[in-house]
Every structure is written in C-alpha cells, then in structure tokens.
Amino acid sequence: MPVITIERKVLAKNDEVATENRTLFARHGLFVFNVVSSPGAGKTSLLERTLELLKGALRVGVVEGDVQTDFDAQRVARYGVPVVQIVTNGGCHLEAKLVQDAVASLPLEGLDVLIIENVGNLVCPANYDLGEALKVVVVSTAEGDDKPLKYPGMFRNASVLVINKVDLLPYLPCDVEALQRNALQINPALRVFRTSCTSGDGIAAWCDWLRSRAADRP
C-alpha cells in the first residue's frame, strides 16, 4: 500500500534528523527528555513543579509543543528558564525537524537538561524520535486505569511513567494499582512515579531521579 510507503519514508527522514539532534545534544552534554501524554494529564504542571524544585541545581531549557497557542510557554517562562514554543497549527505531534529548528534559538551550551513537552496525544508521538534520551509518559488518574492497554505503543516506547493527579484518587473510580499493573504488563522496564502537582506529592522523588539521570550524562 502506497500510504504505508509514504509513512515509512516520513519516519525514516525523521529518524535521520533525530540522529542529528542527538549528536548536537551530546556535544552540549545535555540530558534531554520528551514528555508525552493525552491533553490535560498535567505535562505543563509537572514541568512547573519540576522547574520550581530544580531551580539553582540544574540549568533547564524547555521546548513547548502546542497545536494552537503559546499559553504553556508563557507559564514556563515565569520560572526564568529559556523556553521556545513550537505551534504546530493543528499538527498532532512534534517532529525532529521542528525541534531542530526550535533549539537553534536556545542557549544549549549553558544548559544541563532540555525538556521537550510534546503535543497532547498518546498516538503518533510514540513513533517520532526527536533525538531525546528517553520519553516520559504522563497519565492522570482521571483518565482511567485502562489507558496503557488502549495506547500500548506509547507505554512500550517510554522509559518513565508518571501517574499524576493522585490527590484526586478518593473521588475517582480509578484503581491506581491496576493502572500501574497495566502499564508494567506492556513495559516491565518502566520507572514509575506517582505525583500530584496540586499537593506536591511525589515531585521530590521524580526530581531526585531526574537529577541523578542528569548527573550520569556523558
């Protein structure tokens, strides 16, 4: 089928640029991760909490992906970190080329960590390598415990799972143990954190992990 051929060509081209990005990030000694989730899971809130806690410890830059607005970049900029917004104009995922162009306006040599917030979508961002070291998938308790089974590709390709909005568990039918079990069934290597960006639960543990990963970078 021609459609499949085109898809393969697009992905192969994307992988080439992702490799260039990876080389660039390595040259600057950057630890780069790609944050993915469905819309509203709390990616930007997690970033805000993270930036708050890492202030003074790590130099962080942010690439924000959004379909239509720069609202998230404005939120992140309040933390005094360099941030660049990619507006995809309806595009439902970030591609390596968009990231390559965006990071050209960031002071990479002065950074330790680069966080890429992808467009809210659990489907195609799984297939687009951006040159990151790893993907962090965020799922909120409000989305239900079957999310990993419905979007296995994303959970398979991620290295870290953040289960967010745990403060809402008393009010929701979500079984958080089942949610974690479902995710680990698809990818037993997932590193799991449970967080609430409202109460601050679990943010310190997540930031500790991030700090140790950043320290390990070549």
Residues in the site for Mg ion, rule: CB under 5 A?
A: 43-44, 72
Could you identify the residue written with the tokens 């297939």?
Answer: 127
| Nearer CB in complex with Mg ion: 72/132 | 72
Token output for 16: 């080439």
- Beta strands per DSSP E along the chain: 31-37, 60-66, 83-87, 113-117, 134-140, 160-164, 191-194
Residue 44 contact among Zn ion, Mg ion, none, beta carbon within 5 to 8 Å by kind: Mg ion
**Residue 143 to residue 164: CA distance in whole angstroms:** 10
Q: Of these, 92, 104, 192, 215, which contacts Zn ion (CB under 5 A)?
A: 92
| Nearer CB in complex with Mg ion: 14/44 | 44
**Residue 181 to residue 21: CA distance in whole angstroms:** 34
Query: Binders of Zn ion: how many residues, by CB under 5 A?
Result: 3
Residue 204 contact among Zn ion, Mg ion, none, beta carbon within 5 to 8 Å by kind: none
Stretch of 12-20, 123-131, 173-181, 189-197 contacting Zn ion, by CB under 5 A: 123-131
Residue 129 contact among Mg ion, Zn ion, none, beta carbon within 5 to 8 Å by kind: none
Could you identify the residue written with the tokens 């997540």?
Answer: 206
Token output for 74: 């404005």
